[in-house]
Chains A and B, each alone.
Chain A
Amino acid sequence: KAGVTQTPRYLIKTRGQQVTLSCSPISGHRSVSWYQQTPGQGLQFLFEYFSETQRNKGNFPGRFSGRQFSNSRSEMNVSTLELGDSALYLCASSRGLRTGTNYGYTFGSGTRLTVV
């Protein structure tokens, strides 16, 4: 069974540019969540998508946005990049159902974004 696939693995962008990251969840998982990981702030929740709808949102500015497609693949976009956006961006998928057992997340390997 294929895992969670994130592309690209590494990305270098210039301040002011925009970037799009992609995540393909495990087959059958309908929920995709995005996290920003930095040494100083740890794991910070960006947003979660379930069946093409944003279901939960963290405390990030509007420059951070996402979407989910009908096949559950998700993209995350950051516009007008700032130096502070340099981080590891992790995608995590789960069944996302509101009933039943919570088996936790399956994470992708992340995209390392460097803003220069």
Chain B
Amino acid sequence: AQTVTQSQPEMSVQEAETVTLSCTYDTSESDYYLFWYKQPPSRQMILVIRQEAYKQQNATENRFSVNFQKAAKSFSLKISDSQLGDAAMYFCAYGEDTGNQFYFGTGTSLTVIP
């Protein structure tokens, strides 16, 4: 089975600074999707960014961008100009190209320091 590993249980960043959250995964598939989800204290999981494995170009959504290294099976999330509202638990997830299986990491709790 595919596994997703987030090795940083907690991270902190100063407001307006940049922070990178790490994620690695294991799969033998060549086509798949990767996601970062944010879960604020309100507890609703929100999709932050999505990457298609067959696309070499890194996905970007406003202040959020990823560094996708397919050969290394690495998928890190960079948050630029951090804001207080970015404080949340962030989950990395792997989604199969076929079927509807998703695999989640254990999450990284991000604190933003004013």
Contacts and interface: CB of A to CB of B under 8 A. Distances in A.
Given A104-B93, A105-B45, A105-B47, A99 B98 contact: yes
A110 B43 CA distance: 7
A74 interface: no
Interface stretch (A13-21, A60-68, A75-83, A90-98): A90-98
A102 B44 contact: no
B85 interface: no
Contact of B50 (A31, A42, A90, A104): A104
Given A94-B100, A109-B42, A109-B44, 9 more contacts: A42-B105, A50-B100, A98-B98, A102-B95, A103-B50, A105-B93, A105-B102, A107-B37, A109-B43
Interface of A: 31, 33, 42-43, 45, 48, 50, 55-56, 88, 90, 92, 94, 96, 98-99, 101-110, 112
Nearest to A92: B45
B114 interface: no
Interface residues of B, number: 25
A48 B100 CA distance: 8
Contacts, number: 60
Given A107-B44, A107-B45, A109-B44, A102 B106 contact: no
A105 B47 CA distance: 8
Contacts of B104: 42-43
Given A90-B45, A107-B44, A33 B102 contact: yes
A105 B101 CA distance: 10
Nearest to A4: B44
Contacts of A108: 44
Contacts of B45: 90, 92, 105, 107
